[in-house]
């Protein structure tokens, strides 16, 4: 029995080596095949059949030369997109936060919008505190942006004192983990030479340098928006338990500052703001985020779209090192062919511009050849046959 097992193992190693040398499979697929097959109790014949099936399946999945991959991808994403809902959904199990889903979110992704309609972050925590709700709450307090206005029960202008009277809510102050002195310091740091700050029992008086009523009113409006705690743009944080760890979900996104908070797991932080990912983490991370965000939207709606179509779109959007939208201000508007640009949008402008500048069209794309009724350079149309007649 042991001898027969060693023979099968030897046969497996020899076969895997042949596949590797012939490059019949990509390295990742081969490693997965080796890991799954090595533990199975099978005969040589069964092993050879499995290998042959995997190789045939892989070869069938390859794109043939001249295949219209762009058209297929557009159709494969566009057709399910017509059946998607147009609503903003709440996070499952988190009633306090809403996030744009469905077709509006897919449009945001392919348009590479500077600001998504509902920016949000998912912030997992370090393994030491991931299971501790109190620790998660402390980090949530560090992240959530608290303005003076959100912990004050009353704002008024005291004309007798010539001061701004700020009454702080004790319950809110305790809930947010703040002290009166901390709020006063934040106000003083922000207004600097424009006034003096004095504290009392849950009350702060701000005496402006100027005594005019208009200056008092302006300073009053400015103080309301002063950030006391947390990071910019993150207006709300929700703690949610997933499996055996607590995860923070935010309303608003600021991944740069979030990564600096102690206790946050920097390797797993995610934001749905693609521009922010590009600025902080680079173009490769942006490409991966486009794929993840688009697939999440499609899967959430129950759409069965092959990930390779999304990968092609993500590659096109990030190929030059920046994020380009799929539109006239991005990929479609940067085509070399004037006819192809005119066929997409603002037709008259493109044709007039091309006519004024004497633009030449090489007719190497699909759209321009369709317009002229010529054979398109795809499929069999992408192949030229050259003949060398025998000259006797």
Average pLDDT over residues 73-91: 76
pLDDT, average across residues 117-125: 90
Per-residue burial over 260-290, b = 16 or more CB atoms within 10 Å of its CB, e = otherwise: ebebbbeeebebbbbbbbbebbebeebbebb
Query: Residue 370: which residues within 8 A CB-CB, separation 6 or more?
Result: 376
The reported pLDDT for the residue numbered 103 is 84
What rounded mean pLDDT belongs to the chain? 83
In this structure, the number of other CB atoms found within 10 A of the CB of residue 55 comes to 16
For residue 163, what pLDDT band results from cuts at 50, 70 and 90? confident
SS3 (DSSP) at 87: coil
Q: Report, as an integer, the average pLDDT of 214-230.
A: 78
Q: What is the pLDDT of residues 273-326, one digit of tens each?
A: 999 999 999 999 999 999 999 999 888 888 889 999 999 999 999 999 999 998
**What pLDDT sits at residue 391?**
67
**Do you know the residue count of the chain?**
392
Q: DSSP class of residue 179?
A: -
Query: Of residues 179 and 363, which shows the higher confidence score?
Result: 363
The predicted model gives 325-352 an average pLDDT of 86
Region 189-207: mean pLDDT is 72
pLDDT for the residue numbered 291: 95
Q: Is 213 in contact with 196 (CB distance < 8 Å)?
A: no
Residue pair 94/87 in contact (Cβ under 8 Å)? The answer is no
Tokens read off for 359: 């633009």
pTM over 0.85: no
Q: What does the CA dihedral 36, 39, 43, 49 come to, rounded to 10 degrees? A: 0
Tokens of 313: 């779109």
pLDDT at 2: 43
> Looking at per-residue confidence, does 125 or 82 come out higher?
125
Is residue 87 within 8 A of residue 101, CB to CB? The reply is: yes
Q: Say which residue, 277 or 141, is predicted with more confidence.
A: 277
Give the pLDDT confidence of 15-34 residue by residue, as tens digits. Answer: 888 888 888 888 888 888 88
User: What's the pLDDT score for residue 88?
Assistant: 55
Distance CA 245, CA 13 (A): 41
């Amino acid at each position: 029995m042991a001898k027969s097992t060693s023979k099968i193992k030897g046969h497996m190693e020899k076969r895997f080596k042949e596949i590797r040398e012939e490059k019949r499979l990509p390295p990742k697929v081969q490693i997965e095949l080796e890991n799954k097959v090595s533990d199975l109790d099978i005969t040589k014949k069964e092993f050879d059949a499995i290998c042959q099936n995997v190789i045939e399946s892989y070869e069938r999945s390859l794109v043939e030369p001249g295949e219209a991959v762009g058209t297929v991808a557009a159709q494969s994403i566009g057709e399910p997109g017509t059946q998607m809902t147009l609503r903003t959904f709440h996070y499952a199990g988190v009633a306090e936060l809403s996030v744009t889903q469905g077709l509006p979110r897919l449009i945001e992704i392919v348009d590479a919008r500077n600001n998504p309609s509902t920016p949000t972050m998912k912030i997992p925590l370090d393994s030491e505190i991931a299971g501790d709700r109190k620790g998660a709450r402390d980090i949530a307090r560090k992240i959530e942006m608290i303005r003076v206005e959100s912990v004050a029960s009353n704002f008024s202008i005291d004309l007798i004192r010539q001061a701004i009277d700020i009454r702080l809510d004790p319950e809110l102050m305790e809930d947010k983990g703040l002290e009166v002195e901390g709020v006063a310091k934040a106000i003083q740091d922000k207004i600097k030479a424009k006034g003096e700050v004095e504290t009392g029992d849950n009350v702060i008086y701000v005496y402006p340098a100027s005594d005019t009523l208009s200056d008092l009113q302006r300073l009053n409006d400015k103080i309301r928006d002063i950030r006391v705690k947390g990071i910019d743009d993150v207006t709300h944080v929700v703690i949610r338990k997933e499996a055996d760890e607590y995860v923070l979900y935010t309303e608003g996104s600021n991944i740069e500052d979030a990564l600096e908070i102690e206790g946050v797991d920097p390797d797993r932080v995610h934001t749905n703001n693609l521009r922010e990912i590009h600025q902080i983490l680079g173009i490769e991370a942006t490409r991966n985020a486009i794929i993840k965000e688009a697939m999440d939207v499609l899967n959430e709606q129950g759409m069965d779209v092959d990930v390779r179509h999304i990968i092609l779109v993500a590659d096109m959007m990030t190929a030059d090192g920046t994020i380009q939208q799929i539109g006239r201000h991005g990929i479609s508007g940067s085509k070399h062919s004037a006819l192809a640009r005119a066929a997409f949008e603002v037709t008259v402008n493109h044709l007039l511009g091309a006519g004024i500048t004497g633009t030449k069209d090489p007719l190497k794309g699909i759209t321009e050849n369709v317009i002229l009724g010529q054979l398109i350079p795809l499929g069999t149309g992408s192949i030229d046959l050259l003949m060398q007649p025998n000259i006797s």
